[in-house]
Structure 1
């Protein structure tokens, strides 16, 4: 595809002519630019360029300082030149040859220069406007050659992208062939295999749910059995302790003899003390019944302070004896002599019979 050459316009012809003139003209600024680009600044020790000529910030600071210095130097030069001219004019013996005609000619010359300068400014402004308009037209693609170029560029870029996509697809296909050698599944076989796998997955899900339910039931059963096992362990420990205690009693052959001796001692004590019976209605109360001569009986109530073995008070219950034992109780309660109190009360009762 060929792109047609743009049509020659007067503006383009003038632009080409101006460019040709600039290239053929030997301007000092162009030569100075080339000299500056090829200038070796390594010998300037007091300049920032010699320290690091590749640092833009240092170059900017150095150029700014040079510009400031040149501005001051220019102002100083203008000032000195004006002073020198003023002094020469004052001290000169000849008066300047300036008359009305000279001033008129200078005024006419200045007016002409102003007119030309104004016309040049107008043409320059028009040229700038044309350049801006042309730049907008080029950017928006109004020219046929620009639009064709942009279309060709976009087509070329799209073709390159499509080519890269084709290469990537071929590479991916080659990798798939290498990863999955023959025989390969067809579309129908793959669909059938997917259906079978879905059915198997459904069956496996059902089996998994059943196993989860069984696991929950087993967990509950394990908890119940664990509690029962702990209870049985506690009962077993108690039974083992009772068994050990029973075995010790069975192995100890002395306990029948000791039991007989203790029973005989209790019977002897009861007969000596005329003790018929005793009982404990509460934790801190003891009731003792004595058999007296002539078939009479007396029940003595002993009350102790709660939580201690200290005698608090004593009295006769349901007794036909008219005796006062409070004095005896007071005397023996001080020393907490319960056996002495029992002997004294029993002696008093026997004396009354």
Structure 2
């Protein structure tokens, strides 16, 4: 039975395949719709549809409170910007939330005021008129206190849940941004791996063409790691020496400048002395009238004869 040849995959190819597989998995996950976006769609659509109704209702409430919008009552008359619904940002959402809180607070105050006036008028004009005893007021205050306590507890619980959700939302947003950045890096990883594999192939080809040029390329991994550590230690030592020499450089520079300052007058004196010696030599030659040349020639002849006689007689000086 014939066996099929097994194809061996290099580590770089395996890494590239693994990176491509992970990238496909991330793209498949990112193609799915996020649940929080689904949750926000009904709210956004409801806000977009009811924007006109809310504006009309608010204008009606403001008309009951007073026809003049600039009478100092502080009611906001601007509509919610549609741009915040098209491209919501944390700042725009916080601004819209503050606007709606202010609007509903004023609506609640207007509603309570209107209902109170209506009840008071009905109680007065009713037949027979409604008479409230102190006992009824006390019972109503007790029930109101219980309702306020329950409402306060619910508000506290809702505030805690909102704070918890905000913390989780910010953490999830940070993780989402980090995943986006890592995904972008992962998209570039297969190309980088392919480029590194090509570079490794070029180096191996060059090593085969010149096997004795760089023997350190043929060492095993353990020796290569040891050589790398040795080179790193050498570089570290050179850096340390360079730092020491850099620390000594200012002092050496100052010393050089001092020696240069001392050498300048000495150099001037040497040049003056050399010029004076040349002038004296010239004057001496002029005074002798060429006799010095004859004496120098005779001296050379006597030294040559002395050397010949020493060689002949085997004399040692």
Same fold (TM over 0.5): no
- Bigger helix share: 2
Q: Which has the higher strand share?
A: 1
Q: With the length of structure 2 as denominator, give the TM-score of the two structures.
A: 0.26
Give TM-score, length-normalised by structure 1: 0.24
Q: Using CA pairs below 8 Å that are at least 6 residues apart, which structure has the higher relative contact order? A: 2
